[in-house]
Amino acid sequence: MIGCEVRVTAVRFAYGEREALRGIDLAVGAGERVALVGPNGAGKTTLTRLLVALRRPTAGRVTVGDWDVATKRPDEMARRVGYAFQHADQQLFARTVADDVAFGPRCLGRGRAGVASVLDELGLGGVADLHPYDVPAPARKLVALAGVLAMEPAVLILDEPTAGLDRVQRSRVVAALRRRADAGVTVLAVSHDLGFVAEAADRIVAMREGRVATDRPARELLYDREALAALGLRPPTTAQIGMALGLPGSPIRAHEVVDALRGTRWKEMPE
Amino acid sequence: MTALVELERAGFTYPGARSPALSDVSLDIAAGDVLVVTGEAGAGASTLLLVATGFAPRVVGGKLSGQRRIAARRCGVVFARPWTQLTGLCSTVRDEIAFGPASFGLPRQAVLDAAERAMRELRIAHLAEREPSQLSGGELQRVVVAAALALDPEVLALDDPAAELDPEAADALYDVLPAIAAAGKAVVVATPDLERAARVATRAVTLEHGRIAARGAPADVLDGTEPALVARAAGCPRPYPLDVPALVRRVRR
């Protein structure tokens, strides 16, 4: 898998008279893991939909690698950009989980190659033969993500990929995204879950009222309590622990905090 | 305190399913409770909400076993996917929230008062004139919670209510739950968000494979919060700290 740059230049978009995007400039490079955060209604989902031609900007330009998105249809974009919707049920339709995941690769002429390994990767091996609507809603979300991963896109766009997932499922998603990014895939994830962001992203782009409010390395922004507060956000638990105890290295991932706390002498009971 | 809902060895099987989603659940839910129901995805937390509020099997079909007594005169349920709860008939958020009380035939002013009160409690007064179909997922989530609250239910069941919310809105939503319970209602929340749940819960239940695996005080049941997991992995002895301040207090400097 080889990723490609996603570039958004001076993009504006309006729903009728309500302007949702008010001049966005953003570039995400191959192999980058970027989280798109911000309050509800900031324009995050709208922006991602422009990247796959599900919406057309009212002004500005969007490119994915050497493709000008304005010249492409959504089905053409799907060959290069995988998009997992916020609500998985919008993209499940086959009779079994395995068939649903295989739909994309089949359309690309790859048969069922890679389907079983993606199902295993996301812990779905045991439900492969079930109807997608017979598995719990969180697992359906993973089925939709598996379908996107199975297409091996150069760019992955995920809208709230961890909403409703339990801790084990969330860690599987984090690991899957890390593997793809390490292989050069461009990853852009919309998320309110700063715990997930801390584990999965290296860079955070925060939106507010249709604009990019901030664009900083994750390790830096997640330790900037004031900047986060201005965005209506709080540091994730890992960074809160790091700040409260003055842990070295600004740990943001759980294993980093655990490593920093090893050797700690604990009080037996809380005071 | 009189129970609003009593379950005794209750079980539930969805239509067409081979095995039960819920088995052998005995539980009382009373006014003043903020009962948090947690468990891994698919453990049965959402099903327990449906059974406890009477939606299962009445609305979803399936088969109930064991004993269930619902003394609450009205139960409200907010589902994890808020758009499934829109009426599709209202062009403003205010009308959407007023729809429930209006359908009970209340006087016009009482309907409007209920809608305004619910919007105030959920801090969405600024959305009153917006069209529901144009709201973001998080805004919509708060609208459907307000719509459920406007019905003045004695039991308010919320299925992963902050899944679509930004952190500030999620905190705000959880913050109103104790006040709702203190006003004489029972609040039941199914959620994987243990840290927010631990802040507001009066009692907690953990489900595994449809059965109650643990129940009791939040400190005893909700020990899968991130601070608890981090502390455990770093060698902290039990009881594990549930939140960051508790973890910090445990560190011997």
Q: Distance, in angstroms, between B91 CA and closest chain A CA?
A: 15
User: A100-104, B24-28, B150-154, B218-222: which has the minimum mean pLDDT?
Assistant: B218-222
Structure confidence by residue, pLDDT tens digits, B237-248: 988 898 899 999
A56 — alpha (psi -120 to 50), left (phi > 0) or beta?
beta
- The mean per-residue pLDDT over the stretch A203-208 comes to 97
Shared-domain flag, residues B31 and B79: yes
User: CB-based contact (8 Å) between A270 and chain B?
Assistant: yes
Q: How many domains does chain B have?
A: 2
Residues of B in contact with A234 (CB under 8 A): 167, 171
Q: What secondary structure, in 3-state letters, does B83-143 show? A: HHHCCCCCCCHHHHHHHHHHHCCCCHHHHHHHHHHHHHHCCCHHHCCCCHHHCCHHHHHHH
pLDDT band (50, 70, 90) for residue B12: very high
- The mean per-residue pLDDT over the stretch B128-150 comes to 89
Q: Report the residue of chain A nearest B237, measured CA to CA.
A: A268
pLDDT at A135 over 90: no
Q: Which residue has the tokens 């999620």?
A: B170
- The mean per-residue pLDDT over the stretch A184-206 comes to 96
CA count, 13 A, side-chain hemisphere, B146: 31
Q: What is the pLDDT of residue B211?
A: 97
Residues of B in contact with A135 (CB under 8 A): 42
Shared-domain flag, residues B229 and B215: no
pLDDT band (50, 70, 90) for residue B137: confident
Q: Distance, in angstroms, between A111 CA and closest chain B CA?
A: 30
- The mean per-residue pLDDT over the stretch B160-186 comes to 86
Q: Report the residue of chain B nearest A37, measured CA to CA.
A: B166
Sign of the torsion angle spanned by Cα atoms B15, B21, B27, B31: negative
Shared-domain flag, residues B159 and B186: yes
pLDDT at A3 over 80: no
Cα–Cα distance measured from residue B112 to residue B108, given in angstroms and rounded to the nearest whole number: 6
| A to B CB pairs, distance under 8 Å | 139
Contact A167 B192 (CB under 8 A): yes
Take residue A121 and report the two structure tokens written for it: 């990767």
Contact B235 A264 (CB under 8 A): yes
Shared-domain flag, residues B138 and B250: no
Q: Where are the domains of chain A?
A: 6-222
Helix (H, G, I), strand (E, B) or coil at A112: coil
What mean pLDDT, rounded, does chain A reach? 93
Contact B137 A254 (CB under 8 A): no
User: CB-based contact (8 Å) between A264 and chain B?
Assistant: yes
Contact A137 B83 (CB under 8 A): no
pLDDT band (50, 70, 90) for residue A1: low
Q: Report the residue of chain B nearest A38, measured CA to CA.
A: B166
User: CB-based contact (8 Å) between A99 and chain B?
Assistant: no
pLDDT band (50, 70, 90) for residue A115: very high
Residues A169 and A123: beta-carbon distance below 8 Å: yes
Q: Report the residue of chain B nearest A41, measured CA to CA.
A: B136
Residues B163 and B141: beta-carbon distance below 8 Å: yes
Q: Distance, in angstroms, between A195 CA and closest chain B CA?
A: 9
pLDDT band (50, 70, 90) for residue B162: confident
Q: What is the pLDDT of residue A14?
A: 95
User: CB-based contact (8 Å) between A43 and chain B?
Assistant: no
Using a 10 angstrom Cβ sphere, with 0-12 exposed, 13-18 middle and 19 or more buried, the burial of residue A139 is buried
pLDDT band (50, 70, 90) for residue B1: low
User: CB-based contact (8 Å) between A179 and chain B?
Assistant: no
- The mean per-residue pLDDT over the stretch B33-39 comes to 95
Shared-domain flag, residues B180 and B246: no
Return the CATH class of domain A6-222: alpha beta
- The DSSP result for B184-238, as a single string, is T-EEEEE-S-HHHHHHH-SEEEEEETTEEEEEE-HHHH-TTSHHHHHHHHTTPPS
Peptide bond into A132 cis (omega under 30): no
CA A156 from centroid of its chain's CA atoms:
7
Q: Report the residue of chain B nearest A255, measured CA to CA.
A: B230
Take residue B66 and report the two structure tokens written for it: 């064991």
Shared-domain flag, residues B250 and B191: no
Shared-domain flag, residues B205 and B246: no
Shared-domain flag, residues B12 and B108: yes
Residue among B139, B163, B248 minimizing CB distance to A164 = B163
Shared-domain flag, residues B87 and B58: yes
- The mean per-residue pLDDT over the stretch A261-265 comes to 90
Q: What secondary structure, in 3-state letters, does A29-86 show? A: CCCCEEEEECCCCCCHHHHHHHHCCCCCCCEEEEEECCEEHHHCCHHHHCCCEEEECC
Strands A155-159 and B211-216: unpaired
What mean pLDDT, rounded, does chain B reach? 91
Shared-domain flag, residues B72 and B132: yes
- The mean per-residue pLDDT over the stretch B137-158 comes to 91
Contact A192 B165 (CB under 8 A): yes
Q: What is the DSSP letter of A270?
A: -
Q: Distance, in angstroms, between B165 CA and closest chain A CA?
A: 7
Q: What secondary structure, in 3-state letters, does A178-197 show? A: HHHHHCCCEEEEECCCHHHH
B56 — alpha (psi -120 to 50), left (phi > 0) or beta?
beta
Share of chain B above pLDDT 70, in %: 100
Q: Distance, in angstroms, between A118 CA and closest chain B CA?
A: 19
- The mean per-residue pLDDT over the stretch A162-176 comes to 92
Q: What is the pLDDT of residue B170?
A: 84
Shared-domain flag, residues B66 and B155: yes
Looking at the DSSP assignment, which residues form a beta bridge with residue A159?
Answer: A190
Q: What is the pLDDT of residue B17?
A: 86
Contact B167 A233 (CB under 8 A): yes
Q: What is the H or E stretch that residue A203 is in?
A: strand A203-208
Residue among B40, B166, B249 minimizing CB distance to A39 = B166
Using a 10 angstrom Cβ sphere, with 0-12 exposed, 13-18 middle and 19 or more buried, the burial of residue B28 is middle
Shared-domain flag, residues B128 and B230: no
Q: What is the pLDDT of residue B248?
A: 94
Structure confidence by residue, pLDDT tens digits, B200-228: 999 999 999 999 999 999 888 988 899 99
Reading across the β-sheet that carries A18-28, which strands appear in turn?
Answer: A18-28, A6-15, A59-64, A67-68
- The mean per-residue pLDDT over the stretch A156-175 comes to 92
Take residue A34 and report the two structure tokens written for it: 């970027």
Give the structural domain span for B130.
Answer: 3-220
ipTM for this prediction: 0.85
pLDDT band (50, 70, 90) for residue B233: very high
Q: What is the pLDDT of residue A270?
A: 56
Take residue A119 and report the two structure tokens written for it: 């199902």
